[in-house]
Structure 1
Amino acid sequence: MADWTDGDLPDLTGQRYAITGATHGIGEEAARALAAHGAELVLFARNADRAGELLAEFGGRGAVVRCDLGDQASIRTAAESVTGDLDVLIHNAGAVSSSRQETVQGLELTLGTNCHGPALLNRLLLPQVRRRIVIVGSEAHRNARLDRDDPHWRNRRYQPFAAYAASKLALMLWARELSSRLAAEQSPVDVQLAHPGFAVTNLQNVSRFEPLNALIRFASRPFSQDQVAGSWPTLYAATEVLPPTSYVGPDGRRAMRGHPTPQIPDARATDPEAARWVWNLVERETVIE
């Protein structure tokens, strides 16, 4: 559909949507739109109080689940608290760090939060998912490189944006392998990918120096879009009829802004051998107790 917006969402009454990272940015706007169209929500958030306030503000039915995607114990506890089926699970949360940090389990924070965390949550909740899994990737994957010898940046100089791009490429590759495995099992669940274009969100707060963050936000405004429009690709990927592993993003110049439409990701995000490598890495470094 040309010029699709959140106003084109169908009636979602009776459907249950789970989403991570819904307390700010495009996740908040996506959750707001889903609730406005009748969906019951399960909001995974580190800040459960804020998520509860938003759920009440949305006037939607649902539940809040405290979940820190940088802590595998928190993820397991969160998954155990979810009862009943989920129609759609949206992996929206993302993180970027200005310096190298580690998760509770000793993984590089950006990779651990953006790839390993969603993968573990997905693994635990998959038996409850009925229809679709949505992965929010990034156009940064087009310039990303996965260092197989040092995926956690232990032996090289840390570069925040390179680490973020690599984490999103890893997540997108993991999603491809997940889709292949679900298809082999003849699962009714499909996997879709989306990216928000260049949306103004708190991911641009990468510096510890707030004036620099403000300068980045100001300089990016001419070619960025607001958070509402940034949420449209996620919503489109969550609700429209699509072939498996479609990649939905804005239709404007360089896919930075505009209305959602299926796009072609870079070949590095569709490499089946690389997808298996990421899958195996995540399996080794996540633990189910």
Structure 2
Amino acid sequence: MLAAEQGRTWGYGSPAALTCYALGLTGLGAWLLIERRMGEEALIPLRLFRAAPFSLSALAGAALGAAMLGTMMTLPLYYQIVRGASPTRSGLMMLPLMAGLVLASALSGRVIARSGRYKAFFVTGLALVAVAALALSPLLDTDVPLIAVMGLAAVLGLGLGSSMQPLTLAVQAAAPVRDMGVATSAATFTRQLGGTAGIAGCVAVVFGRTGEIGDSSAMTASFAGSFAAAVRPVFLLVAILAAAGFLMALLIKELPLHPTTGPRARATEGITR
């Protein structure tokens, strides 16, 4: 994140940026070695990732997290800087997206509870996110009707809400029942890690692009127009991330949901032994 934030000033290939990349890779490598050495006592046992449904669900969740937080960081800035909304009004203009997210999450949960089927929700949801973000990208300008932007944001919210919980269920179903707790934590961790990377990437795109516009012959354009031009590639990036998650979601095998909880399963194992 530091390299993404400071890269335009430092240069993305500068010694400072390369040091950040090296520290990140070193930390990741050290974490993998320690988790492997800890075996069953690891925070996230690496054996869980040997199951393709688990790995694919976690990666699709990371892509979803990047798309979600990238959107939620960028869209309020568009409302404030490009459309001149106050911070309070900008928050109110985010309500369609949040309403779509909450509604889809509640409805998908009810249907899954009755049917036990969950794959269709995250496949459809990721497709909706990709299509809505792709449609939003060219609309993020100074003179497009706000109702069109907020309507597509609502569709994007429906996609996010349809995907988040079902992807967590896919991770839980792919793990042994005694590991349900750690599997849920791993799904949340990878989604948050993806979100962190998504925010860093979106910051780099927005401010890198704003700098390019400011240094070119477009200096005569307003800052609002320049920022709008910088925001549009972010939603192309969101669409690409969601499309990648959609392709991974198609490969996920839908497994039956566990009929019991992790603690109850461990208690049963203890009684059996």
With normalisation by structure 2, the TM-score equals: 0.27
**Structure with more of its chain in strand, by fraction:** 1
Structure showing greater relative contact order (alpha-carbon pairs closer than 8 Å, 6 or more residues apart): 2
Structure with bigger gyration radius: 2
**Structure with more of its chain in helix, by fraction:** 2
